[in-house]
Amino acid sequence: MKSVYLDNAATTAILPEVVNTMTEVLTNTFGNPSSTHNYGRNAKAIVEQARKTIAKQLNVSSSEIIFTSGGTEADNLILQSAVKDLGVKTIITTKIEHHAVLNTIIYLSKHYDVEIVYLDLDESGQINYNQLGEFLKSKDNVLVSLMHVNNEIGNILDIKKVANLCQENKALFHSDTVQSIGHYNLDLQDIKVDFAAVSAHKFHGPKGVGFAFIRKNSGLHPIIFGGEQERGQRAGTEALHNIAGLETAFKIAYQNLETDKTYITNLKSYCLKQLKKEIPSVKFNGLSDTLENSAYTIINMRLPEISKDATMIQFHLDLKGIACSRGSACQSGSTKNSHVLEAILAKEALKKASLRVSFSKFNTKEDVDYLVNVLKELF
């Protein structure tokens, strides 16, 4: 049976070069980075070199990169400390953020004196930047939390515009960049975001590691207490092999960025063309059928018939060897609608089955043809 993996927004295949790096570190560099002897110094050098590699690419100071267990921990560190330690009283966000953000701010609103303001969204899932500007003018002690690339519908936020609005109104800006860093060039000196969250397994690195960008002198405090690792921002012995693997994946992602982006963009364009040709009544959620306003890695399609259930379609695709999803991976196994689609679609549209397919450089036109042919059998 043919095997086609089209769920790269959930996770990506780890690169052989990354596995080799991690194996070498696990085998030869087992010292604790906090130890002062030679073994510890060698381990510490790997951590600091990875930090420098990331900082140089993002055009920030290496002291502003804090290694975490992934994007979820980075989001929690930033959001929880912003409320507890920086005196944030209002969080402005949307209802289509990742659950790492949404569930954290719901928790904070229940346990601290903090107001959550949700921006209005149009039928494509876009925010109203004028509305954001008005809220910023009318509120004090504000943190804006908006993801750069939506993990379900692929919409791209004008992150620089939001950063400028926040700076003009003396508000803090946090962005979940899990779907964008490793896929887009971001100069964080030019884009004045205060905080960002990143996860390695979205760009062919290992699971269980990522980092938070925390702008210098922000005043954030740790949420995990213990030793003084990660400049006192994140206690616990560093996962040395994971950090080394992250660095290797990060370097390869940016060395090959333009080549990979062109290849995957062409693949997405071909998929859109074939879907529209073979299933003419297919619709697309968010801006995912546009190449200029959505991630080049993501298509979120709404299939024609109300009678067909998305879970059963996904099951049928799985039987044919095709891996895709109904929404984000954190919702797998859930029978609920995607919270993203619920926030932007009318009731009739929600009754129709929606699927997300997401690409990597390892996908081919043959993969697309196979997907479209299997879907055509169903519709």
| Residue 290, phi-psi category: left (phi > 0), alpha (psi -120 to 50), beta (remainder) | beta
- The residue type found at 210 is G
**Cα-Cα-Cα-Cα dihedral sign, residues 215, 295, 209, 339:** positive
Active-site entry in 166, 271, 324, 330:
330
Distance, in Å, from the CA atom of 120 to the CA atom of 143, rounded to the nearest integer, reads 17
- The residue type found at 208 is G
Tell me which H or E stretch contains 299. Answer: strand 298-302
Name residue, tokens 């922000």.
Answer: 218
Closest C-alpha among 307, 237, 261, 319 to residue 67: 237
Number of Cβ within a 10 Å radius of residue 272: 19
Instruction: Reply yes or no on whether 330 is catalytic.
Output: yes
Beta bridge partners of 91: 116, 143
Would you say 259 and 296 are in contact if contact means Cβ atoms under 8 Å apart?
no
Distance, in Å, from the CA atom of 32 to the CA atom of 34, rounded to the nearest integer, reads 5
**Cα-Cα-Cα-Cα dihedral sign, residues 25, 28, 30, 32:** negative
Name the residues annotated as catalytic.
Answer: 330
